[in-house]
Amino acid sequence: MKKIGLLFDERLSHDRKKVFTRNMTTFKVKYSVDFIPSGFNEDSFIEFLDRERFDIVMIPWHLYFSWKKAANYSETRMMGYFADPLLQFEFQALPNYQNFILLDFYHFDMDEIELLFKLMTSKTDDSEIIETFGKTAHFATNEWYPSDQDSSQCIDILFDNQIFQSFSYQERLPNFRFYVTALWMACFQEKRIHPPEAASAKLMIAEYGKRLMIKITYQSPSLTSKDVLKELWPTGEHSNILFQEMARHSDFLKVSHFPKTRNVSISALFLPSQPSLALNGEVRGFWVENRL
């Protein structure tokens, strides 16, 4: 079991701190979560991490921005989080990070927060969808080939799957279609040399308890994690609208970049709480990471 450290956000209001503490205490039953005492400065916090050796550490979003050495600490996976409303004007300038993980503990309910914990503790990128949703979930797979790029028929076939025909998803079908269309365009926007029989992209879909995950893996010779981070940054100027569309139409977006293989893996969560419908101006969590 991975060891998780959580530094509490002392800036939370009394009521929000109470709710957040109760929620996180619940997860101590299933996960190895240690509450880290407050009062550190950045240097003393790094010394603390050197002694404790956590696998994952979650720190409040404002410290994740300002503690640049801690946020890039190489011995553990560092994550920022927010547990009360985070507005775009509070977002700072784009940091020089290759990895940026901002977890949304404000919009998500308890069951949905657990999906984030499962994502955090999954063993590999390949197994994350099964580990997150469990073997009893409904799964569907699909592949796109070079010959498919001039036809939208594959998207239509995808939405014929019983998972998308469920009554509980009817109102969100336009969001799903916008999202998958953005994936399609991202996959085929670059000219790559593929043998005709080799898939350009592999998709996997999982559904359980009205919670849906769509994951795609494809090769992108030029894309980097810094490019993705720039496009997803709430206050930035965006030249590539596709990642903005993916974030807009999903409730949580996770993008993994594999420099050695030039593969890109994109996982999106669609949840009953529908944080993507939150009032304009509120920031939602997202995850961009370089993977070995």
pTM of the model: 0.93
Q: Which CATH architecture best describes the domain 128-290?
A: 2-Layer Sandwich (3.30)
Element (H, E) at 32: strand 32-36
pLDDT at 194: 60
Over 90: is that where the pLDDT of 154 sits? no
Residue 263 burial (C-beta neighbours within 10 Å; 0-12, 13-18, 19+): middle
- 3-121: which CATH topology? Rossmann fold (3.40.50)
Query: What is the per-residue pLDDT across 115-124, written as a single tens digit (0 to 9) for each?
Result: 999 999 999 9
State pLDDT tens for residues 66-96: 999 999 998 899 999 999 999 888 888 888 8
Q: Phi and psi dihedrals of 4, rounded to 5?
A: -110, 130
Q: How far is CA 261 from CA 43, 97, 218, in A?
A: 35, 21, 10
Contact yes or no for 81/102 (Cβ under 8 A): yes
- Domain residues of the chain, as ranges? 3-121, 128-290
**Which contiguous run of DSSP H or E holds residue 141?**
strand 138-144
pLDDT tens per residue, range 185-225? 888 886 555 666 678 899 999 999 899 999 999 988 888 99
